[in-house]
Amino acid sequence: MRRYGKNTDEDDIRQRPNRKGTRPRTSIRPKHEDAVEGMVLTVDRGRLTCLVDDRIVMAMKARELGRKAAVVGDRVQIVGDLSGEKDTLARIVRIGERSSVLRRTADDDDPYERVVVANADQLAIVTALADPEPRPRLIDRCLVAAYDGGLSPLLVLTKSDLASPDALLEMYGALGVPYVVTTRDEFVDGVAADRVHEHLKGRTTAFVGHSGVGKTTLVNALVPADRRRTTGVVNAVTGRGRHTTTSALALPLDDKEGGWVIDTPGVRSFGLHHVDPSRVILAFPDLVPGTENCPRACSHDEPDCALDTFVAEGHADPARLYSLRRLLATRERREGD
Ligand SMILES: Nc1nc2c(ncn2[C@@H]2O[C@H](COP(=O)(O)OP(=O)(O)OP(=O)(O)O)[C@@H](O)[C@H]2O)c(=O)[nH]1
Ligand SMILES: [Zn+2]
């Protein structure tokens, strides 16, 4: 059961979309005509590191924004001192509409689901093939979070020097999720990074993965230390050249083809309580026509669901329906998720 307290810090806590579409939007405020657009790169205790043109500007949220929090990846309007000089602090006066949202789950320290990354178009789910063992249920939950939040998933299977990817690839074959397999030696000559990079060009990709799967190794290979320094991101945040907050961190890929890597150190699982099956099924366009005869608000995982007949009549591959139901079944949280 979700609780909505009075003193939550944002209005991004998951709510069902308002049917009438009357959810309040940030209104245009003519008094900020001079505002400049920036992108939020990381957040640390109310201080937001933003990229404005090619400058790093520290900012905080203007009071007028109320409870709505700006998160990594947000396109924001900023006013005030935009010089990027030391000890300056600008103000974020508007948060742009988001094309996608990645939410992390509520946990013991914080009972609310929150948006942690905005506007990413891809979710890279990093899983080791061994050490630690792959956790298909966790992968499935990541896939649901991606489909629900409007991101396209990418499976990155690491440590293929320790175990074969065949079993996992067979399991995810019916889903048609793009994947990359990497192995230890390839990190030395850069081949692994190049192969992953092929999928990242010009896109904003949030990386998630359980501790120990090799996410840091991969992100470091994709974004070398010197490029981190050129942006000044890391130093601007901690002053120590190390990213120590639990916030996500946006790192630029090379200038030539562009794109961003968003590392998410704190995101281990996602709250899926309010996932709407009708949004998940959009990732299964071959099954969508079969839902026409479903009962109202069908969960697609119940006896009257019309998809069984649809598949039995040969209109779609049973493996696809099986995969859809497997994903939908992960919405209920279990021990270890
Ligand atoms: N055998 C093998 N080991 C790897 C590979 N990639 C990374 N590792 C090792 O796996 C361990 C964990 O790698 P990290 O990159 O720190 O993993 P992480 O997912 O960032 O883990 P945390 O830092 O705990 O969040 C390290 O000892 C790496 O050297 C690989 O392809 N093969
Ligand atoms: Zn149904």
Digit-coded pLDDT (tens) for 4-63: 444 444 445 444 444 454 555 555 555 677 899 999 999 988 899 999 998 999 999 999
Same domain, 81 and 110: no
Q: Is 300 annotated as a binding residue?
A: yes
Residues whose beta carbons lie less than 5 angstroms from ion ligand 2: 294, 298, 300, 305
pTM recorded for the entire structure = 0.86
Asked whether 211 lines ligand 1 (CB < 6 A), one says yes
| Average of per-residue pLDDT values in the chain | 84
Token readout for 335 is 């021990």
Which structural domain range is residue 64 located in?
Answer: 35-95
Ligand nearest to the CA of 305: 2
Q: Is 202 annotated as a binding residue?
A: no
Asked whether 130 lines ligand 1 (CB < 6 A), one says no
Ligand nearest to the CA of 288: 2
Same domain, 54 and 108: no
Query: Quick check: is 2 in a domain?
Result: no
Same domain, 304 and 249: no
Q: Which CATH number fits the domain that encloses residue 72?
A: 2.40.50.140
Q: Is 298 annotated as a binding residue?
A: yes
Same domain, 195 and 305: no
Ligand 1 pocket, mutate which of 157, 216, 243 (most atoms under 8 A from CB): 216
The predicted-structure confidence for 77-100, as pLDDT tens digits, reads as follows 999 999 999 899 999 999 999 999
Number of domains in the chain: 3
Same domain, 69 and 173: no
Same domain, 183 and 321: no
Instruction: For ligand 1, atom 10, name the residue with the nearest CA.
Output: 214
The predicted-structure confidence for 106-157, as pLDDT tens digits, reads as follows 666 666 778 889 999 999 999 999 999 999 988 998 999 999 999 999 999 9
ipTM for the whole complex: 0.96
Query: Quick check: is 337 in a domain?
Result: no
Query: Quick check: is 4 in a domain?
Result: no
> Is residue 201 within 8 Å of 258, Cβ to Cβ?
yes
d(CA 3, CA 121): 29
Q: Is 216 annotated as a binding residue?
A: yes
Of 114, 116, 140, give the one whose Cα is nearest residue 127. Answer: 140
Same domain, 184 and 316: no
Q: Which CATH number fits the domain that encloses residue 204?
A: 3.40.50.300
d(CA 93, CA 219): 32
Same domain, 109 and 205: yes
Same domain, 201 and 54: no
